[in-house]
């Protein structure tokens, strides 16, 4: 009988210790979300990407295009018929770089040639590609996202030219 009482006492003690570790308030579900990011609507993101593809197709290039919002959330990605995996992934990395650094990816590529700290920051993040081909999308001077193109193998500026065509197609309707 003593063994049963000791065991019961031990169980009650363990339960009280365990209860003491339970937080007073359970976490909220769903968790509070971050404020909504600015960026093009899905329809405008797709339209911009399609315009970039059409422009590059007219020049004989098969590309990948990515459009992200101000938080770097992918809004649209199109892999053109004949585009390869690297082109598609590069388009996203260029768009992320243009968005996060708030400048065209070519300008970023030029700056990292002389700014060692910036070069290290870009190099240390696999999400970035500082090659030419991405442009920030702006409204009243505020970056609300970016469009990136990868895979055009024509002139050194062909990716950026196609991204610019996509951006120009929707620029007046960005909010």
34/91 Cα distance (integer angstroms):
26
pTM of the model: 0.80
Token readout for 108 is: 């970023």
CATH entry 3.30.2010.10 includes domain 42-173: no
What are 30-72's pLDDT values in tens digits?
Answer: 666 666 789 999 999 999 999 999 999 999 999 999 999 999 9
What are the residue ranges spanned by the domains of the chain?
42-173
Percent of the chain residues topping a pLDDT of 90: 77
* 7-to-4, 12, 19, 20 alpha-carbon distances in Å: 5, 9, 18, 20
Stretch 132-146: mean pLDDT: 97
Token readout for 72 is: 């770097």
> Nearest 5°: CA angle at 39, between 42 and 61?
65
* pLDDT, position 154: 79
């Amino acid at each position: 009988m003593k063994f049963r009482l000791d065991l019961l006492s031990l169980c009650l003690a363990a339960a009280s210790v365990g209860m003491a570790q339970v937080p007073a308030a359970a976490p909220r579900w769903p968790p509070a979300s971050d404020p909504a990011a600015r960026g093009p609507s899905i329809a405008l993101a797709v339209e911009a990407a399609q315009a970039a593809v059409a422009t590059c197709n007219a020049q004989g290039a098969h590309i990948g295009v990515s459009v992200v919002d101000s938080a770097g959330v992918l809004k649209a990605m199109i892999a053109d018929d004949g585009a390869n995996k690297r082109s598609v992934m590069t388009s996203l990395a260029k768009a992320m770089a243009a968005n996060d650094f708030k400048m065209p990816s070519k300008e970023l590529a030029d700056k990292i040639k002389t700014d060692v700290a910036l070069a290290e920051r870009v190099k240390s993040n696999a999400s970035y590609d500082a090659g030419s081909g991405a442009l920030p999308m702006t409204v009243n001077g505020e970056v609300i996202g970016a469009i990136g193109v990868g895979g055009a193998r024509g002139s050194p500026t062909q990716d950026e030219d196609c991204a610019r065509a996509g951006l120009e197609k929707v620029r007046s309707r960005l909010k």
